[in-house]
Chain A
Amino acid sequence: MKPMNQLAVVLPMRNASAWLPQLLAALAHDWAVPFELVAVDDGSSDGSAQLLQRLCSHWPQQRWQLLDGGGRGVSAARNRAVAASTAPFIAFIDADDRPLPGRLARPLAVLQQHPELDHVHGGWLRCPPAGAAPHAVCPWLEGAAFDWQSVIEHKAVLPSAWTLRRSALQRVGGFDEGLSHAEDVDLLARLAASGSRGAWIPEPLVRYRVHPGSASGRLRQHLQGLIGVLERHLQGLAPALAPWAAEQRYSTLTWCCWQAWSAGQPQLALQLLQQALPACPYPLARRRVHLLEVFARSCRRVGQPWDRPALQASPFWRHACALIDAGPSHG
């Protein structure tokens, strides 16, 4: 006999009271899906736990539970929720993101119909602050897939759009609780390395909110965390993969450079570029060209306005070019 709840919706939260009403209302749209909400309060000081209890008070008891995460971080909170649930499928949702209709139903249906799949991932609507129009992020259109090399190349993962089979998650031991950043990329890469099979659900499943209070607001730590995770997965590769690995290191660091520039932190961007250059696999002639292309593509990927002449005329770009032209020894 099937357990009543097929899907555990794992919700780690810390000071999320501003988002919980909308989040829970959105989840309720998928009420027909046999899910159980497993929320973990990870050290909130804004009464998030109490608010959640109040908002769920009319839900049947078997449809939700609230756990204490003890402030051990998002990875530990998610793992705790997974351990406390029994459903065969796990959907993650972050408190500040908003599920779109079908967020739960579509992945569950696909995983039930395709027993060969271990996890499925949807697209997402990237919602910038200050009311700018949302932009659909569709990694499958850029060739992102779920084999290990593709995962390392694209690093396309957003937990709020991700649903996994419990057995696959348990096989790799869940999230690495030692990581406070890029733990999702790490998990995706470990799943791929273990031979797990994933697939895209080619539609947006969630509204991903970009705001200073989100995890990516702590930019420097976030980016260095991502770089560290990448480095961890590139260790010990066969010599034949060394050129590919060099490209991944460089492309990740230059993407981080763009991310910092895009967030209005040009000094951090230049530091990241300096960090990138010693491992640059491209000839000197191509380095500026490559960086400009990274900036253009990254902007387009997230729907950010792209003004090439303005960038090229900026002091930031002049400094970046000076670093590139000086070569690695300058870095």
Chain B
Amino acid sequence: MAEPDASLHAEALAQLEAGRPRPALAAWRQLLLAEAPAVQAHLEAAAAALPADAIASLRSQAIALARALLAAEPGATEVAALGALLRGWGALCLAEVPARALQHLERAWACGPDSQLRQQLAQLYPRLGYGEGAWELGTPPPHTQPWPQQPCPAQACMTCAPQSSVDPELGLSLLPQGRLWVQRHTNPWRTSHGVAVLDRQGALQPAHCRAYPQPWPACPHRAQLEAQALALLPWAAQGLPPCQPLAGPVLALAELSAEQYFHWHAELLPRLGRLWPLVQAQWPQVRLWHNGGAAPWVDESLARLGITPQQRVAGPAHISAALLLVPGFAADAGVLAPANLAWLQAFWAVDHQPPQGRLWLPRGLTPRRAVLGESTWLQAAVAQPLGPGAVAAQLQQVAAAQAHIAPHGAGMINLFAAAPGAAVLELVNPAYAPPYFDRLTAQQRLPHRRLAAAPTPLPLQEWLYEGSLAWPIDLRPGASEAADALAALA
């Protein structure tokens, strides 16, 4: 359960940033060898997930570099491989997470700069205030895009202020010739990164606009971050597809990351469900546009709402409508508002029988936040795994369980259907444990424990994953307090 040796890692980074990649790699080799079993488990999990991995090429490079270092002292080949890897991550982060991109690209410099790297940095540096200095590397852009300030890290933020907020009423704005667009991530996941709603004059409607990074509720920097979102959105508009005009009234719902199960269920679907009957009664010809994608759970939800395929507008990320109907957000980003929770429970009409047994919400060896050791615990019959199937059927399984074991990200939003009093054991990476489900479990009176899995080895944290939200939940036996707790249940 030892923490990774952060001082050796810091020393390696300092060597790299000072232009000495070989000593840096030698220090990292030491770190990898010191945690060889954990490293091997992470590499194997990542390799197993490659066929489904949107960034398989980049992750393959990281796997190869780590394996090379495990096998031998670093040489010129490893220096070049490190440079290529860091540049790959830098390019991936460049558009939306410039701070991370800068870190990767500045470190890649030590492995050998070239004209492309110089130009990438010349594009970034003016945004940090080096408008004149950037000329040393290349040609800076004529206009300087704002540098997104990140909110406090989630865990620090939790101690900053009580995580409560007053949910606004679910209003509906009517915008004749209104326009809406969604900024997709430019990375391979293409999830929604920003949402903009404009009136016929092209003026942003702040109450309907959002962009990452988003503050937690009660964040003291909230106003600053919201202002930043409004400043960043016009830049995103430069890369939009052409606007698709739509006839008639269109109910348009967009959320950040709405393509993900959590955000669909916690935010988008309840807003839609609460308004759809009212809107349809007033505008019988209304059609629906949303940015939740076409996953099976989306189709199932819409069918259950009675929204036919003919009533849906598919696809475009940039629309205008003769009459654009835009609901308010009804809650802070990432928060399941009480009214939304009540609607979900009524909508899915879960039948509560006397609960029994433990249910495991599986996540498996996905490319992002893989759960290492999950199969071990399921084979040990710690809990019954949630079976595959439709949302409604899964929710019935959730409702029937007396206790839930859930790696963070394994569809915990389904706990809205849990039986009152059912215990929840949430398993998290120690570096990524956001309080998304605290409010839900509190509202549902579900006793909720959060246990930390083993930390992700250094330097794999930076080579193998796009950020802490993708770090695996390492439940290998004996490696963490979470694993110990599971062993006690076996």
In the bound complex, residues from chain B placing their C-beta under 8 Å from that of A312 are 135-136
The digit string for B201-229, where 1 denotes a CB below 8 A from any CB of A, is 00000000000000000000000000000
- Closest Cβ–Cβ distance, residue B307 to chain A (whole Å): 52
Q: Are A289 and B18 in contact (CB under 8 A)?
A: no
Q: Which of A284, A291, A292 contacts B18 (CB 8 A)?
A: A284
B129 at the interface (CB under 8 A from A): yes
A283 at the interface (CB under 8 A from B): yes
Q: Which of B17, B20, B109, B135 contacts A292 (CB 8 A)?
A: B135
A292 and B136 in contact (CB under 8 A), knowing A284-B18, A285-B121, A286-B125?
A: yes
B137 at the interface (CB under 8 A from A): yes
In the bound complex, residues from chain A placing their C-beta under 8 Å from that of B107 are 283
B167 at the interface (CB under 8 A from A): no
B428 at the interface (CB under 8 A from A): no
In the bound complex, residues from chain B placing their C-beta under 8 Å from that of A288 are 133, 136-137
A327 at the interface (CB under 8 A from B): yes
Q: Which residue of B lies closest to A294 (CB)?
A: B133
Q: Are B130 and A283 in contact (CB under 8 A)?
A: no
In the bound complex, residues from chain A placing their C-beta under 8 Å from that of B121 are 285, 289
In the bound complex, residues from chain A placing their C-beta under 8 Å from that of B129 are 293
A308 and B132 in contact (CB under 8 A), knowing A283-B107, A284-B110, A285-B109?
A: yes
* Residue of A289, A294, A308, A328 with most partner-chain B CB within 10 A: A289
Q: Are B18 and A293 in contact (CB under 8 A)?
A: no
A292 and B113 in contact (CB under 8 A), knowing A283-B17, A285-B105, A328-B18?
A: no
Near A by CB (< 8 A), chain B positions 88-139 give 105-107, 109-110, 113, 121, 125, 129-137
CA distance A306 to B109 in the complex (A): 28
Q: Assign chain B's interface to a size class.
A: 20 to 34
In the bound complex, residues from chain B placing their C-beta under 8 Å from that of A308 are 132, 135
In the bound complex, residues from chain B placing their C-beta under 8 Å from that of A294 are 133
B19 at the interface (CB under 8 A from A): yes
In the bound complex, residues from chain B placing their C-beta under 8 Å from that of A296 are 132-133
* Residue of A291, A296, A328 with most partner-chain B CB within 10 A: A296
Q: Are B137 and A289 in contact (CB under 8 A)?
A: yes
- Closest Cβ–Cβ distance, residue A274 to chain B (whole Å): 15
In the bound complex, residues from chain B placing their C-beta under 8 Å from that of A282 are 17
CA distance A308 to B133 in the complex (A): 9
Near B by CB (< 8 A), chain A positions 18-74 give none
Q: Which of B19, B132, B133 contacts A284 (CB 8 A)?
A: B19
Near B by CB (< 8 A), chain A positions 300-319 give 306, 308, 312
CA distance A236 to B137 in the complex (A): 37
Q: Which residue of B lies closest to A321 (CB)?
A: B136
Q: Are A286 and B106 in contact (CB under 8 A)?
A: yes
Q: Count residues of A near B (Cβ-Cβ below 8 Å).
A: 20
A290 at the interface (CB under 8 A from B): yes
Q: Are A293 and B130 in contact (CB under 8 A)?
A: yes
Q: Are A283 and B135 in contact (CB under 8 A)?
A: no
Q: Are A291 and B109 in contact (CB under 8 A)?
A: no
- Closest Cβ–Cβ distance, residue A276 to chain B (whole Å): 14
- Closest Cβ–Cβ distance, residue B18 to chain A (whole Å): 6
Q: Which residue of B lies closest to A291 (CB)?
A: B133
In the bound complex, residues from chain B placing their C-beta under 8 Å from that of A327 are 18-20
- Closest Cβ–Cβ distance, residue B429 to chain A (whole Å): 25
CA distance A291 to B18 in the complex (A): 16
In the bound complex, residues from chain A placing their C-beta under 8 Å from that of B132 are 292-293, 296-297, 306, 308
Near A by CB (< 8 A), chain B positions 363-398 give none
Q: Which of A284, A289, A291, A328 contacts B125 (CB 8 A)?
A: A289
A284 and B17 in contact (CB under 8 A), knowing A289-B130, A290-B130?
A: yes
Q: Which residue of A lies closest to B16 (CB)?
A: A283
The digit string for A123-157, where 1 denotes a CB below 8 A from any CB of B, is 00000000000000000000000000000000000
In the bound complex, residues from chain B placing their C-beta under 8 Å from that of A285 are 105-106, 109-110, 113, 121, 137
Q: Are A290 and B17 in contact (CB under 8 A)?
A: no
Near A by CB (< 8 A), chain B positions 122-159 give 125, 129-137
Q: Are A284 and B109 in contact (CB under 8 A)?
A: yes
A293 and B133 in contact (CB under 8 A), knowing A285-B121, A286-B125, A328-B18?
A: yes
- Closest Cβ–Cβ distance, residue A264 to chain B (whole Å): 21
CA distance A327 to B18 in the complex (A): 7
* Residue of B106, B121, B132, B135 with most partner-chain A CB within 10 A: B132
Q: Are B133 and A290 in contact (CB under 8 A)?
A: yes
In the bound complex, residues from chain A placing their C-beta under 8 Å from that of B130 are 286, 289-290, 292-293
Q: Which residue of A lies closest to B19 (CB)?
A: A284
Q: Are A283 and B133 in contact (CB under 8 A)?
A: no
CA distance A283 to B108 in the complex (A): 10
Q: Which residue of A lies closest to B131 (CB)?
A: A293
Q: Are A283 and B137 in contact (CB under 8 A)?
A: no
In the bound complex, residues from chain B placing their C-beta under 8 Å from that of A306 are 132
Q: Are B19 and A289 in contact (CB under 8 A)?
A: no
A289 and B136 in contact (CB under 8 A), knowing A283-B17, A284-B17?
A: yes
The digit string for A265-283, where 1 denotes a CB below 8 A from any CB of B, is 0000000000000000011
CA distance A283 to B107 in the complex (A): 7
* Residue of B107, B113, B133, B135 with most partner-chain A CB within 10 A: B133
- Closest Cβ–Cβ distance, residue B251 to chain A (whole Å): 47
The digit string for B156-179, where 1 denotes a CB below 8 A from any CB of A, is 000000000000000000000000
Near A by CB (< 8 A), chain B positions 17-35 give 17-20
- Closest Cβ–Cβ distance, residue B171 to chain A (whole Å): 40
Q: Which residue of B lies closest to A328 (CB)?
A: B18
CA distance A327 to B105 in the complex (A): 18
In the bound complex, residues from chain A placing their C-beta under 8 Å from that of B105 are 285
A289 and B106 in contact (CB under 8 A), knowing A284-B19, A327-B19?
A: no
In the bound complex, residues from chain A placing their C-beta under 8 Å from that of B133 are 288-294, 296
Q: Which residue of A lies closest to B110 (CB)?
A: A284
CA distance A292 to B121 in the complex (A): 15
Q: Are B17 and A289 in contact (CB under 8 A)?
A: no
CA distance A31 to B20 in the complex (A): 65
Q: Which of A289, A291, A297, A328 contacts B134 (CB 8 A)?
A: A289
- Closest Cβ–Cβ distance, residue B167 to chain A (whole Å): 37
CA distance A312 to B109 in the complex (A): 21
- Closest Cβ–Cβ distance, residue A213 to chain B (whole Å): 32
Near B by CB (< 8 A), chain A positions 196-245 give none
CA distance A325 to B19 in the complex (A): 8
- Closest Cβ–Cβ distance, residue A55 to chain B (whole Å): 47
A-B contact pairs, 21 of them (CB 8 A): A283-B17, A283-B18, A283-B106, A283-B109, A284-B17, A284-B109, A285-B106, A285-B113, A289-B125, A290-B130, A290-B133, A292-B133, A292-B135, A293-B131, A293-B133, A294-B133, A296-B132, A296-B133, A297-B132, A325-B19, A327-B18
Q: Beyond the given A284-B18, A328-B18, could you list 9 further A-B residue pairs with CB under 8 A, ordered by the A residue number?
A: A284-B106, A284-B110, A289-B130, A290-B130, A294-B133, A297-B132, A312-B135, A327-B18, A327-B19
Residues of B within 8 A of A (CB): 17-20, 105-107, 109-110, 113, 121, 125, 129-137
Interface pairs A-B: 5 shortest CB-CB: A293-B133, A285-B109, A296-B132, A289-B133, A283-B17
